[in-house]
Each structure stands twice: as structure tokens, then as C-alpha cells.
Amino acid sequence: MTSPTVADETPVLERLSRLDRFLPVWIILAMVVGLALGRLIPDLNDALEEVKVATVSLPIAIGLLMMMYPVLAKVRYSRIDEVASDRKLLVTSLVLNWLVGPALMFGLAWLFLSDLPEYRTGLIIVGLARCIAMVLIWNDLACGDSEAAAVLVALNSVFQILAYAVLGYFYLELLPGWLGLDTASLDVSMWEIAKIVLIFLGIPLAAGYLTRRWGEASRGVEWYEQTFLPRIGPWALYGLLFTIVILFALQGETITDQPGDVARIAVPLLVYFALMWGVSFVVGLRLGLPYEKNTTLAFTAAGNNFELAIAVAIGVFGVTSGQALAGVVGPLIEVPVLIGLVYVALWARGRFYPQPT
């Protein structure tokens, strides 16, 4: 184990860009602007419904695609095959991401929101969307293995195309029925979910892959990583904030009348992020993973792709649905919690991975 570098000693928040450092603030401001906009333009929903992409209004569709493309342009697709050399990390990550994570969110959603079916469904949708974006930031801040994180992110991107619709149908329709739980309020087809995933993940995934291939081939890896990605990176945040403004403009009355509902959505999310990270880190310790890979395992398992969750919630249930609101609350909770978990990871490095003298 190498000793920490000078950069490692820099306080975590100082290593974040200004945009990322104040992301919760920007989200809250977008919510406030959205609420004000909803009061000023009461017919906004009718205007947005004029032109649609699938079942999503064109302006919101543009915002969702803006969220996804920069994220997927960052993925190093050429290194997916490298993870095969560490089967222990690969298998553990797949189990935690695609079996444990969705099942845990399903259980928490029913435990905390059994009487609020729309929010409950929204949380399940969040749990199915495995992290492919912000995890790279948290992993780097916690001194994790950046190459392993890039590979796992690439794999999660591919798995979401293949598995998201199937898992959505399983957790929203089949499993509740098998357990004798209420499914009367759900009307979800696997094709509806698959169509939204193909549009809002498939299109930017293809664009991101082709952009990286073109950029590295024509201008080189250094230009692509150091010049191009920093230019397009902020657009993901702009797309997210734009979508949040519209969502809160359309849901303003519900939010202001029932603020307790937002708090109730936040509680299971807090429990989820803490449990997923903690369980994953302990599993990595048991397996004997070195700190860098164990940290990568924990953050890739704990984070969620809230961009995709918002897109699916809006596309399947509508922009004014409770499911969409639950998706928006996701990043508001995830960002500060995972920043806190960066500090936990650095503490755990000193506690469980003592540095050589």
C-alpha cells in the first residue's frame, strides 16, 4: 500500500469543483425557482404537452438527454475487458448492484412508504438505476481505484440497457403479487420501461461511446480527457437543474401542501445509502480486497443513476407524478450523504488498512 499523496491530504470539499461542491445548493435553488415558476405560469403543463418524445414532453426530453450524454462520454469503454482479470471484484460488484441493491430498496420502500404507492414506486425505480456517473467523483475523492471504477461504470451502463426493464417489471409487478402486496395502483408494462431506457440511456450511451472513439482517434486521449470532457461535463448538471425546475413548477402545489411527504421519501433514501455502502465495504474487507478496490466496490454499489430514474419516472408515470418527485429527491439526498461517506472511507483506511511506516 502506498502512502497518501499530497493531493490525498487536501480536504475533500476543496477537491470538488465549485459546481459539484455546491450541488445540493443548486438543486435547492432549482426547486425554489420551479415553485415560483409554477405560481407564475399555471398553464405550464399544457404548454409542455404540445410536443413529445415517446411520452415525455420535448423540453424535458432535451433536459434528460443533456443529463445523460456527458456522463456516458466519460466512460472508458475500451477497458471493460480488463475487469475479467479480477473476477472477485467483478462478481461481488454485480451481486451487490443487481441483486442486493434493488432488493434492499424494494424492502425499504415498502417498509417506509407502504401507504404512499406513488412515492414507493419512485424509490424502487431509483434502486434499479445503478450508478454510472457521480460515483467516479466520490471514488476519486476517497482515493479509490479509478481504473476499476471506470470499468465497473462501463459494465453498469451496459447492464442497465439489458436488465433495467426486466427488473422493473419484476419489482413493480411480479414480486409484489407473489408476496400478496398491493399492485392495484400499478399499470406498468415491461415495454414501457424498456422504451424509455432505450431512448434516454441507449441514445446517449451510443453517442458517448462514439464520441470517445472519435475524440481519442482524432485528437488523442490527453485532449479528450483534459480538454473535451471538462467542456461538456457541466452540461449534465445544467440538464439536471433544468429538469428539476420544470418538475417543481408542475408539482408546486403538491409539494407546498405536503412537505412531510418529501421528508418521508428522504428517510428510506438515507437508510439505503448508508446500508449499501457499509455492507459493501464490510464484504470487501471479508474478501480481502485492498483499500482502493474495496472503496470502489462500496461507492459503485451505494450510488444510483438518478438521471435514468428521473427519466423512467417521467416517461412511464408522467411529469407531475409522485414517482417523478421521488426521483428528484434522490440526488438531493444522495450527494451530501456520499460526500459524508468519503470521509468515512478515509477514516476506514486508517482504521483497517494501516499505512506502512
Domain range summary for the chain, segments of one domain joined by +: 11-351
Going from the C-alpha of 289 to that of each of 4, 211, 286, 296, the distances in angstroms are 18, 34, 8, 10
| Closest-CA residue to 131 (of 308, 321, 348) | 308
The burial of 78, by beta-carbon neighbours within 10 Å (0-12 exposed, 13-18 middle, 19 or more buried), is given as: middle
Report the C-alpha gap between 211 and 196 in whole angstroms: 22
- In degrees and rounded to multiples of 5, residue 186 shows phi and psi of -100, 135
Going from the C-alpha of 169 to that of each of 189, 200, 264, 299, the distances in angstroms are 7, 18, 25, 26
Q: Per mean pLDDT, which of 60-64, 182-186, 225-229, 253-257 is the most reliable?
A: 225-229
pLDDT, tens only, 175-198: 988 888 876 455 556 777 777 788
pLDDT, tens only, 71-119: 778 877 776 666 556 788 989 999 999 999 999 999 999 999 999 999 9
N- to C-terminal Cα distance for the chain?
11
Extract the C-alpha cell encoding 147: 481504473
- pLDDT bin (cut points 50, 70, 90) of residue 223 is very high
357 pLDDT above the threshold of 60: no
- pLDDT bin (cut points 50, 70, 90) of residue 1 is very low
* pLDDT at residue 152, rounded to an integer: 85
Class of domain 11-351: mainly alpha
